[in-house]
A and B are shown apart, each in its own frame.
Chain A
Amino acid sequence: QKEVEQDPGPLSVPEGAIVSLNCTYSNSAFQYFMWYRQYSRKGPELLMYTYSSGNKEDGRFTAQVDKSSKYISLFIRDSQPSDSATYLCAMSILSGNTPLVFGKGTRLSVIA
């Protein structure tokens, strides 16, 4: 079992839809959870950052972490064509010189 599992998609939704993107993980030591957005031919950019469990909201984006289920989600409300990108989840443990572990990314297309 891989450390981080993410459905690669592609996921295609109409403009205005609510999008749900998810990752599961196996390492219970993960404490920091991030979502990166990667446009085609660009590097990833940090979208959301959550420590431990709970929800975090930023505009149209909400990140949820359920540590008991080892499951994280990113919700996008009122999706726009400009949201079309690959969304990568990433996570790390609390301390030490340990690397960030990425999911494979989910490719999202929002159709106008």
Chain B
Amino acid sequence: DAMVIQNPRYQVTQFGKPVTLSCSQTLNHNVMYWYQQKSSQAPKLLFHYYDKDFNNEADTPDNFQSRRPNTSFCFLDIRSPGLGDAAMYLCATSRLAGGSDTQYFGPGTRLTVL
């Protein structure tokens, strides 16, 4: 089945220790998104790639970076995680850019910061 895969599902890191979350997709979609979702909150878009073009949301902290080495993979790097960065991180893909196209989500990576 075509899908969006996120690894790891659970990640524990220490305050200030860099961490990388991984997303891969077999849908061959052009667009890949990273969202942060805290408990009982709406998913918050951090950034997205349309193909190789990177689009950062204005309020995404500099602590969050992303890489997309090819169509299938996208990474979220958190350079110096703080306690406030503990959350579920969701990767999503869509064929077209813009919110009108259906987004397909991965299962998420739950990040704990100690």
Contact = CB atoms under 8 A, between A and B. Distances in A.
A31 interface: yes
A32 B96 CA distance: 14
Interface residues of A, number: 31
B50 A92 contact: no
A79 to B, nearest CB: 21
Contact of A45 (B42, B105, B110): B105
A44 B107 CA distance: 8
Contacts of B98: 92, 95-98
A38 B97 CA distance: 22
Interface in A58-112: 88, 90-105, 107
Contacts, number: 64
B80 interface: no
Interface string A27-60: 0000110101000011111100100000000000
Q: What range describes how many residues of B lie at the interface?
A: 20 to 34
Nearest to A86: B40
Nearest to A49: B102
A32 B48 CA distance: 19
B18 interface: no
B50 A97 contact: yes
B108 A98 contact: no
Contacts of A95: 98, 100
Contacts of B76: none
Given A41-B108, A92-B100, A105 B90 contact: no
A43 to B, nearest CB: 3
14 contacts: A8-B40, A41-B108, A43-B6, A46-B102, A49-B102, A92-B99, A95-B100, A97-B97, A100-B45, A100-B99, A102-B42, A104-B42, A105-B42, A107-B40
Interface of B: 4, 6, 40-43, 45, 48, 50, 55, 57, 90, 92, 97-100, 102-108, 110
Q: Which 8 A-B pairs have the closest CB atoms?
A: A92-B99, A43-B105, A100-B99, A102-B42, A32-B100, A99-B45, A104-B42, A44-B105
